[in-house]
Amino acid sequence: MNSFTEENYLKAIYHLGGAGNIAVNTNSIAELTNTKAASVTDMLKKLADKGLINYIKYQGVTLTEKGKGTAINIVRKHRLWEVFLVEKLGFKWDEVHDIAEELEHINSEQLIDRLDTFLGNPKADPHGDPIPDRDGIFHKKELIKLADLIAKQEGKISGVNEHSAAFLQYLEKAGLTLGTTIVVKEALEYDGSVNLLIGKKEITVSSKVAKNLLIQL
């Protein structure tokens, strides 16, 4: 059994890419967990002792298979709870993160499996992020940044790369919600902004927005 705190560190390492080969560095973990580098170092020793991470002093960390499994399970729980909050309780997609952050630490495999069934085994959370199955497998569709599309390409808004409430609220106002079909009218080389058609309505989004909106072709 891992503590609440250990779980949060594992999750942070996972989100920083620790499931791959490139080592995650101490400072970035400190930033994401709102702690100081010294605290991170202490915890890294502990997680390494438990066999959850590969840690070499001064060289950063990666997750072991065991650590990766634990982290993915937390991600699974987080995303399933987000679906519950939006689909069943009527929260907006920009309101659910903090509550899911607490719910993800509830410890019961049975609870999560039943929740998964109750929700109809959703494949993505309200932001389009994929939900791993109980074996930790992601059944993901290929998503492309809006910024990488060219004129005349058509696709469906299927995810976001940024989860701030501000960005999500902007998308909502602009009618750029998940599932919406869009066509690229013009991709402006000058500033990276993109002209889109949503049905017959034309709108322009900035480069920043285009980089954070994910499209399924």
Nearest to DNA of 3, 121 (CB atom): 3
User: Encoding tokens for residue 76?
Assistant: 């699974």
Nearest to its own copies of 98, 142 (CB atom): 98
The site for DNA, by CB under 7 A, has a size of 27
CA distance 143 to 139: 12
Least distance to DNA, CB of residue 150, Å: 34
Chain residues that interact with its own copies, rule: CB under 8 A: 85, 88-91, 98-99, 102-103, 106-108, 110-111, 114-115, 118
**Binding to DNA in span 31-70, by CB under 7 A:** 33-46, 55, 57-60
1 binds DNA (CB under 7 A): no
User: Encoding tokens for residue 103?
Assistant: 């719910």
DSSP single-letter state for residue 85: I
Least distance to DNA, CB of residue 110, Å: 24
User: Encoding tokens for residue 146?
Assistant: 């809006």
190 binds DNA (CB under 7 A): no
101 binds DNA (CB under 7 A): no
Mapped onto helix, strand or coil, the DSSP state of residue 192 is coil
115 binds DNA (CB under 7 A): no
User: Encoding tokens for residue 12?
Assistant: 């942070």
Nearest to its own copies of 56, 106 (CB atom): 106
CA distance 177 to 158: 8
Percent helix, strand and coil across the chain, each rounded to 5?
45, 20, 40
